[in-house]
Amino acid sequence: MVTLNTIIVAGAGTMGQGIAQLCATLGKQTIMYDVSQEGLTKARQAIDQNLYQSVAKGRLAAEKVATIQTRIVYTTRLEDAVGDMLIEAIVEQTAPKKALFRVLEQQNSPQFIIASNTSSIPMEVLSEGLSRPERVVGLHFFNPATVMKLVEVISGPQTLACVAQQAEDLALLMNKTVVRAKDAPGFIVNRVARPYYAESLRLLGAGGLVHEDIDRLLESVGFRMGPFRLMDLIGVDTNLSVTTSIYEGLGCPKRFEPNPIQQSMVLQGHHGRKSGQGFYPYSKDEGPIAR
Catalytic residue annotation: 119, 140, 152, 190
Q: How far is CA 278 from CA 131, 184, 270, in A?
A: 41, 29, 5
Determine the Cα–Cα distance for residues 151 and 148; give it in Å rounded to an integer: 8
* Helix locations, the chain, DSSP H: 14-25, 37-56, 65-70, 94-107, 123-126, 161-173, 189-206, 211-220, 227-234, 236-249, 260-267
Determine the Cα–Cα distance for residues 43 and 21; give it in Å rounded to an integer: 10
Sorted by sequence, the CB contacts under 8 Å of residue 54 that are 6+ apart come out as: 60
List the beta bridge partners of residue 272. 277
Q: In what order do the strands lie in the sheet with 177-181?
A: 72-75, 29-33, 6-10, 85-88, 113-116, 136-140, 150-155, 177-181
179 phi and psi angles, rounded to 5 deg: -130, 135
Helix (H) or strand (E) holding 114: strand 113-116
Judged on CB neighbours under 10 Å (0-12, 13-18, 19+), 158 is middle
Determine the Cα–Cα distance for residues 43 and 12; give it in Å rounded to an integer: 6
Determine the Cα–Cα distance for residues 107 and 110; give it in Å rounded to an integer: 9
